[in-house]
Chains A and B, each alone.
Chain A
């Protein structure tokens, strides 16, 4: 080795300045040319070095990854995942991952690097990745800080009770969420202990976890939070209280609501058969603000749904109704929800009925009341705020959702509202709902105007991830001459259809 470094030194300096070292074993070259001699000797040494290079030793091998419990996905599914990760139909990636996990399968090891890299930039994907990446995924993530998000993202609770003392805000929220799900009382006690020391944004984040396991036992804590210094905390506390039937908050709101919405005595009805009289609140006071109804509720004086701004009084009324326990009305009218929503509202200015129904719809959503949701959806009210109705679909029992959504879509078909409704209906769209969407798409594809084509494009983009992939064959019945957006939708549905079948193999 030292002969070699002598040669390198001589070459660096130049043979003009320094005589190269002698290497007796080198064959003789042209006499007198130092540079040639140096190169010839270097060639001998180079070959000796290259041919005689020893293996390295003492390298520590990497410890084996833990064995997998789940089998890998079938080869066809693995090949499709490679295509998806390469960018083809990349939007179906979450569906692929969730379906694989649902079948108890995992991603093949060779595709983990690309997959984990996707999760680096796309947070929404991470839970799906965690479910399908297997143990090898976590093993790999432990070796690359870019993928550290996967470590502890799965079922592993990620640390014990000391997380609450020492963790970051996100870790503490995660801890509190888990505790609220299992033991809400202990979670409340833990939060109460540190409450006064937490900064306002943290108080809001922690209080938000009370949506899990919310009961009347939380009432006292929430009432106290209505006086909090932080505006967000106060708002959150009032929103949570509004979900709690039987609370003092609910009774306060019910008193306000009953002052505004009253049953008309039968004898007054005479020529006007309205059964409900409405008188929005005349003024706003501090108690109302304390209970979470601001002087300018969001939406008031804003250009609304093509119906002009909502006045302040109407906005207060909607907020009050949205926060009033729905039992108030069944008690007041002595009727089931279905009949109440069909009652006629005395409506001198053409607004009152709408305000009442929107208020009830928001209350049904907040209190997750399936009877009221069903009544409002079937009762044919609140036509001009279909988004509010679409939200109610989530409140229905799962077997009622598809038919109810299908009815809703048939009802708003052909209106600009259709897209806004569908946006709020989560996938998968199956059964009646899928049939209704296909019918809508077919009708829209036959309308040739440019405006329709634009709407159709948006509809297709909405449908491509949510619509049941078996609907592709029904769409193909339209024939070859369909707008480009429909062709693309069919391509995506076919892709998803094959994907789902491969994963089930």
Chain B
């Protein structure tokens, strides 16, 4: 094996090891990849500006063919693993990142796969035209509106029943109470509400649950009423209501008609959550010029490349000059990256004080009352504890926000009693920290 540094000049833009491992779907895959990333297991490796490929001796008779498209990034491997990217793809990129993969001509199979990807990419804008056409079919759209309306009327009855009979019964109720209601919402094509309703089953197990449950029921009924009066709402608020209920907007529509904002966007945090075998990645951005927050969502279903993949192109602690296209709504938040104008660089976001953040949150709630998980980026906060020992973020003026952390130790270690820039999601339980920037340590994912 040659010295890694020898080959650095030929391919300029090799990724850091951390960036490769950041693509791993879980810690086990990252660890497994480290084991496969031995030059001895690989043959026929090579790379060019757009792709890396190689064949890996696995347990089977024929080696696995692995190829990574660096632009997206995207991966292809003939192994049967259900993880995505699989350990072979990660290991290949690790070898490449160490400089152990030299440049060369693409073998036929890799070229073919890249070609097929490019074709699909070109075909992609055309493909969703069919469902869009279906949605434009007035009869179909009308049928759905009616079903949703019936479903929400049913939900409204259910909500009023809960309050009429008394919430006290919820404490002993089985999860089926909420599960059945959630199922009926799926049947009524109002799937956007089924997750939140199903999630309510866990509320009666927490302290202070009666108030919390009443809040959620009240906001659900507010949504039902808003939908019933949708004709009278301003168009942006109507979009917000429809999005909450589960009417989706095609990506192409967002890219073509959504509000466009170009800025230097700092990636302030990223969080994966899994529900019903679907992993959702929430990546938070904050514009340096506009101070606007944005949320980029990506989804991955287990094992299937067709189920989409988690977006690994936005790394926490970096800043990228890009134009975002926002989904429509009264408080635009969810967005797509439409265009990039340069590579990502390291960047610390400019945060706000706690008073400023709370005012921003209140203004956002006035536009979208159903907001949950609003992004905070707090500048120069220190950690504090109240008499009960609960952790807070405290700014220079003495304002404090409670933190919601299962493991506070990394944050404590990094802050060490000094000031940090702290990003997180603000919700009913407090601020859930995502990233801390400290002068010596740089960005630290919590």
Contact = CB atoms under 8 A, between A and B. Distances in A.
Contacts of A144: 409
B214 A79 contact: no
Contact of A113 (B166, B221, B410): B410
A11 B163 contact: yes
Given A57-B400, A61-B383, A109 B30 contact: no
Contact of B218 (A17, A42, A79, A480): A42
B211 to A, nearest CB: 5
Interface stretch (A33-41, A230-238, A256-264, A435-443): A33-41
Contacts of B160: 33, 35-36, 39
* Most chain A beta-carbon neighbours within 10 Å: one of B160, B365, B438: B160
Contact of A62 (B161, B355, B383, B409): B383
B275 to A, nearest CB: 24
Contacts of B166: 11-14, 16-17
B218 A39 contact: yes
Interface in B396-446: 398-402, 407, 409-410, 412-418, 428, 438, 440-441, 444
A4 interface: yes
Interface in B188-247: 210-211, 213-215, 217-219, 221-222, 225
Given A8-B211, A36-B221, A110 B444 contact: yes
B362 A4 contact: no
Given A4-B211, A8-B211, A55-B355, A136 B399 contact: no
Interface stretch (B298-306, B321-329, B384-392): B384-392
B340 to A, nearest CB: 26
A59 interface: yes
Contacts of A476: 1
Contacts of A136: 413, 416
Nearest to B35: A88
Interface in B122-175: 156, 159-161, 163-168
A350 interface: no
A40 B218 contact: yes
B410 A14 contact: no
Contacts of A487: 38, 40
* Most chain B beta-carbon neighbours within 10 Å: one of A40, A51, A57, A136: A51
A10 to B, nearest CB: 8
A224 interface: no
Nearest to B27: A86
A18 to B, nearest CB: 9
B17 interface: yes
B343 interface: no
Nearest to B168: A12
A42 B414 contact: no
Contact of B18 (A8, A12, A29, A79): A79
A108 interface: yes
A46 B38 CA distance: 57
Contact of A55 (B225, B369, B399, B409): B399
Given A14-B165, A50-B365, A112-B413, A39 B221 contact: yes
Contacts of A342: none
Per DSSP, chain A at the interface is helix
B416 A109 contact: yes
A400 to B, nearest CB: 35
* Most chain A beta-carbon neighbours within 10 Å: one of B156, B161, B163, B221: B163
A59 B385 contact: yes
B117 interface: no
Contacts of B385: 59-60, 62
B101 interface: no
Given A35-B160, A86-B31, A56 B409 contact: no
A115 to B, nearest CB: 10
Interface in A1-55: 4-5, 7-8, 11-17, 29, 33-36, 38-40, 42-43, 45-47, 49-55
B80 to A, nearest CB: 23
Contacts of A113: 407, 409-410, 413
B440 A72 contact: yes
B394 interface: yes
B413 A15 contact: no
A13 to B, nearest CB: 5
Contacts of B369: 43, 47
B263 to A, nearest CB: 26
A65 B416 contact: yes
A134 to B, nearest CB: 10
B243 to A, nearest CB: 19
B177 interface: no
A8 B214 contact: yes
Given A8-B214, A110-B441, A112-B413, A56 B401 contact: yes
B354 interface: yes
Contacts of B410: 110, 113
B106 interface: no
A62 B393 CA distance: 10
B281 interface: no
A58 B397 CA distance: 11
A65 B417 contact: yes
A121 B274 CA distance: 31
Interface string B19-33: 000000001001100
Nearest to A34: B164
Given A14-B163, A33-B160, A35-B163, A59 B365 contact: no
Nearest to A60: B384
A7 B214 CA distance: 9
Given A139-B416, A487-B40, A55 B211 contact: no
A5 to B, nearest CB: 8
Contacts of B161: 35
B382 A61 contact: yes
B164 A15 contact: yes
Interface in A131-166: 136, 139-140, 143-144
A51 B213 CA distance: 18
A64 B218 contact: no
A163 to B, nearest CB: 29
* Most chain A beta-carbon neighbours within 10 Å: one of B160, B214, B354, B428: B214
A101 B45 CA distance: 39
B250 interface: no
Nearest to B430: A56
Nearest to B214: A11
A34 B162 CA distance: 12
Contacts of B156: 36
Nearest to A487: B40
B278 interface: no
B17 A79 contact: yes
B262 interface: no
A59 B218 contact: no
Contacts of B366: 51
A83 interface: yes
B249 interface: no
A43 B222 contact: yes
A87 interface: yes
Interface in A260-310: none
Interface in A199-218: none
B330 to A, nearest CB: 14
A64 B219 contact: no
28 contacts: A8-B214, A11-B214, A12-B166, A13-B168, A16-B164, A39-B163, A40-B222, A42-B218, A43-B218, A43-B219, A43-B222, A51-B362, A52-B362, A55-B354, A56-B400, A56-B402, A59-B384, A59-B392, A60-B386, A61-B383, A62-B384, A64-B416, A83-B34, A88-B31, A88-B34, A108-B441, A109-B438, A143-B412
Name the 10 nearest CB pairs between A and B, nearest first.
A14-B166, A42-B218, A55-B399, A64-B417, A65-B416, A113-B409, A35-B160, A43-B218, A59-B384, A51-B362
Given A109-B416, A110-B414, 6 more contacts: A39-B221, A51-B361, A56-B402, A61-B417, A113-B409, A113-B413
